[in-house]
Chain A
């Protein structure tokens, strides 16, 4: 029984220290030192929050670059992150990929499809597509916005992030950044 007191008292005190004091202190410092990141790296346009720089969102219209397929909720549900978790011999996986490939082919994409553009990410919220996946969409977006391919290529390059220090991780095009830049550069009238 001699262990009962230290077990209960230390558990209670560590709970106060690690369960309350530690997260509260980190929150306090973070909110002062890094207010934007601490609150989700939100992006505003005209005073309205339009998303987070770190979180992908759904795009289906031809005048926007499309993100990867998403298994988070019914697609890019940022309060229900998830991958598809389909295994490599899953028929459901192959049928889903075939569907996405068909959708891309219908917009005029030829040749091999960049793998990330027809596969779901681990989080379902991947903000990036590979530079190759952006490239195959340039013709469609250019037609929808009456822009030249060269203009779009430079916008894609501006929205490309990484790899860190040139070799850590992979280069990715932030789809929301890119589409925001598109809207700024050549608004679509509806």
Chain B
């Protein structure tokens, strides 16, 4: 680890923190129905969309209405994307002439992109037409990200309001998140990326004859427009197989730095939206502080692991000073690769600029653990905020138990039914992750029966188990990054990972919206001397503790079998 390395990390944190208030203020005004600077330009388009869709923009919905609207959109989006993938061979913009995507892969991919996961069982440049990438995937990058944002906003409204049924209008919120937040930033960001070297063309590829006289086919496409929103919307699905490690997706140290900021920007700013909407910005900063503590700890562990060298490769003659360079790009080096890995899994992005599968055992443990905590360290746009709010409710409940008072947060009493829903939201995802990991690990004969044994982990030993655990963790947490040695494009993996993604998204969202409905209906109690203050370091510490205990107890046994066992095997010099 170097001073310059930590300086880069500090600069990143500073940049994100500086964006919190401006972006938070903008989104607060937007979702409160006030005018923002883009209103004169976009309001006519917004109105036209409402008119065409028959949206009554002045009518708000109860939590059930909001949830049903959200589910209706996702059902329609799934059908559309599945159809596009299955029919890409007869659709336009297919210069490479790719055939239809197989049924299990189309199911997996459609689920993956509507749930903001962007797990990719395929290599983009070898599987998908430009039409599929643009009309199929880019659209879902916008919609799934906007959905995350508006669900968080609806949840925040439940705390801000008192004795009402309504938590907002899903269609209005969705349209505004798309038009006023995601689209303008994506346009600027995409053009910045092209300037840095990211291609944006409808040509399929360019042919080159190398200096040594062999042929090289350079895959091209409308890359920048997709990369911009996949980062900003914490989707993460790359245009190319190598994702943000590919020089055409992430050509320079500067493009890398801006991409890292774009992953965190909206998620971090939503904590400020919470603070502003409940009338006390300190509440938002406290949540962000808890996220920050966990983030810095993760960066420290990952950076130090990657900066150390693999003993087996040292013995082969490599320079010990350079750290673990397998799977990393020279232009990013150790620190930008470790930092990116922590960011992309703290958020639910899943884009990678280095291959996590080749990280040191403890370096790979951090991304795994980040996802297993539920991606509440800033998290996916919106999903991170409503994810950590479930932990906040749990922390408040624990604090209430300790002092023997009915727990309350932001003036709302947390009661038994709210706690049950909270635990449902928190426990469904780990259950799916661990159950499917166990199934895939303990029943290889089932996999063989479904796949003919062509798919599965590449590595043997504890690392092979880590590849399986990582896949289901990534799917359940709607992250989408991979220990990519796992070959997952087969019926067994596509099906089970697809189901895990659905559980990971909707088994959390629906209870969360139900809690929102319950909270919105409650009166706001003014704080008294007995109220536990939720903006100070004591609360931050309690929240961090609850997150670590939940995540730690749930996943520690599985982590022991994977990365921790591998760490000690590596120190002993075992190879598999």
Nearest neighbor of A20 in chain B, beta-carbon distance? B135
Q: Select one of A19, A26, A29, A170 contacting B330, CB under 8 A.
A: A170
Give the chain B neighbours of A18 by CB distance below 8 A: 138-139, 141-143, 178, 183, 229
B55 within 8 A of partner (CB)? yes
Given A7-B73, A86-B357, does the pair A13, B252 have CB atoms closer than 8 Å?
no
- What is the CA–CA distance of A69 and B268 in the complex, to the nearest angstrom? 39
Most-contacted residue by chain B among A19, A60, A114 (CB, 10 A): A19
A170:B333 contact, CB within 8 angstroms: yes
Q: Is B191 within 8 A of A29, CB to CB?
A: yes
* Known A7-B72, A170-B330; contact A115-B134, beta-carbon cutoff 8 A: no
Cβ of B358 and Cβ of A40 under 8 Å apart? no
CA distance A73 to B63 in the complex (A): 50
Residues of B contacting A176 in the complex (Cβ-Cβ under 8 angstroms): 211
CB distance from B563 to the nearest CB of A (A): 10
* Chain B residues with CB under 8 A of A59: 211-212
Identify which of B138, B200, B217, B330 contacts A130 (C-beta below 8 A): B330
Instruction: Specify which chain A residues have a CB less than 8 angstroms from the CB of B222 in the assembled complex.
Output: 23, 26-27
Residues of A within 8 A of B143 (CB): 11, 14, 18
B329 at the interface (CB under 8 A from A): yes
Residues of B within 8 A of A7 (CB): 69, 72-73, 75-76
B80's partner among A15, A40, A55, A172 (CB-CB below 8 A) is: A15
Which of the 9-residue segments B253-261, B502-510, B525-533 touches chain A?
B253-261
Whether the Cβ atoms of B134 and A23 lie closer than 8 Å is yes
For residue A77, which residues in chain B have a CB less than 8 angstroms away from its CB? 216-217
Point out the residues of chain A lying under 8 angstroms from B220, CB to CB: 39-40
A65 to B532, CA, bound (A): 65
The reply on B36 being an interface residue by CB < 8 A is: no
Q: Which residue of A lies closest to B174 (CB)?
A: A10
Bound Cα distance from A152 to B217, whole angstroms: 30
* Chain B positions 11-62 with a Cβ under 8 Å from a chain A Cβ: 11, 49, 52-55
Question: Hey, which chain B residues are within 8 Å of A112, CB to CB?
Answer: 317-320
Q: Which residues on the B side are within 8 Å of A61 (C-beta)? A: 212
Q: Does B214 contact A (CB under 8 A)?
A: yes
A120 with B225, Cβ < 8 A, contacts A55-B247, A169-B336 known: no
Q: How far in angstroms is the closest Cβ of chain B from A6? A: 4
- B349 interface hit (Cβ, 8 Å): no
Instruction: Find chain A residues with CB under 8 A from B445 CB.
Output: none
Query: Is A126 a contact partner of B329 (Cβ separation < 8 A)?
Result: yes
Q: Is B154 an interface residue (CB 8 A)?
A: no
Residues of A within 8 A of B75 (CB): 7
Question: How many Å lie between the Cα of A89 and that of B158 in the bound state?
Answer: 50
Decide yes or no whether B285 CB sits under 8 A from chain A.
no
- Determine whether the beta carbon of B327 is less than 8 Å from that of A84: yes
User: When chains A and B are docked, how far (Å) is the Cα of A98 from the Cα of B312?
Assistant: 10
Q: Which of A33, A126, A180 has the most CB of B within 10 A?
A: A126
Collect the chain A residues with CB atoms within 8 Å of residue B76's CB.
7-8, 11
A122 to B201, CA, bound (A): 24
The reply to whether B210 and A114 form a contact with Cβ atoms under 8 Å apart is no
Q: Is B462 in contact with chain A by the CB < 8 A criterion?
A: yes
**A87 and B459 contact, CB distance less than 8 A:** yes
Report Cα–Cα, A5/B208, bound state, in Å: 49
Q: Does B569 contact A (CB under 8 A)?
A: yes
Q: Are B200 and A89 in touch, CB under 8 angstroms?
A: no
Q: Which of B73, B197, B216, B332 sits near A78, CB closer than 8 Å?
A: B216
A137 on interface, CB distance cutoff 8 Å: no
With beta carbons under 8 angstroms apart, the residue of B178, B200, B257, B333 that contacts A26 is B200
**A4 sits at the interface (CB 8 A):** yes
Q: Which residues of B contact A124 (CB under 8 A)?
A: 242
CA distance A83 to B11 in the complex (A): 29
Contact call B224/A30, Cβ cutoff below 8 A: yes
CB contacts under 8 Å to A, within B191-226, are 191, 194-203, 205-212, 214, 216-220, 222, 224-226
Contacts of B211 in A (CB 8 A): 50-51, 57, 59, 64, 176, 179-180, 183
Q: Chain B residue with minimal CB distance to A120?
A: B326
Q: Is B463 positioned at the interface, with any CB of A under 8 Å from its CB?
A: yes
- Rounded to whole angstroms, the CA-CA distance of A72 and B327 in the bound complex is 12
- Convert B381-423 into 0s and 1s, putting 1 for each residue whose CB lies closer than 8 angstroms to a CB of A: 0000000000000000000000000000000000000000000
Decide: A88 near B331, CB < 8 A? Known: A19-B136, A79-B218: no
- Of the candidates A8, A84, A87, the one having the most CB atoms from chain B within 10 angstroms of its own CB is A87
Query: Do the beta carbons of A116 and B330 come within 8 Å of each other?
Result: yes
Most B C-beta atoms less than 10 A away, residue of A23, A34, A127, A163: A23
Give A89 to B224 CA distance when docked, in angstroms: 36
Is residue A42 contacting chain B, with contact meaning CB distance below 8 A?
yes
Q: Which residue of A lies closest to B254 (CB)?
A: A164
With A4-B72, A79-B125, A81-B241 known as contacts, the answer to whether A86 contacts B201 (CB < 8 A) is no
Q: Could you say which residues of chain A place their CB within 8 Å of the CB of B316?
A: 94, 97-98, 101, 118
Q: How does the 8 Å CB contact mask read for A102-119 relative to B, with 1 for contact and 0 for none?
A: 000100000011111011
Given contacts A10-B174, A31-B201, A94-B316, contact A85 B138 (CB under 8 A): no
Instruction: Give 12 new A-B contacts, CB below 8 A, not counting A26-B187, A118-B316.
Output: A7-B76, A14-B143, A23-B222, A26-B191, A52-B206, A79-B126, A82-B484, A86-B459, A90-B576, A91-B576, A122-B337, A123-B329
| 25 interchain pairs, CB-CB under 8 A | A6-B54, A7-B69, A7-B72, A10-B49, A10-B175, A18-B138, A19-B135, A22-B225, A27-B200, A31-B200, A33-B195, A34-B194, A39-B220, A52-B218, A58-B210, A77-B217, A79-B218, A86-B326, A87-B467, A88-B358, A91-B575, A93-B358, A105-B317, A112-B320, A119-B318
Q: List chain A positions with a Cβ less than 8 A from chain B.
A: 3-11, 13-15, 17-20, 22-23, 25-27, 29-31, 33-34, 37-42, 48-61, 64, 68, 72, 76-91, 93-94, 97-98, 101, 105, 112-116, 118-130, 132, 161-164, 167-170, 172, 176, 179-180, 183
The 5 closest A-B pairs by CB, nearest first: A169-B253, A122-B245, A170-B333, A115-B322, A87-B463
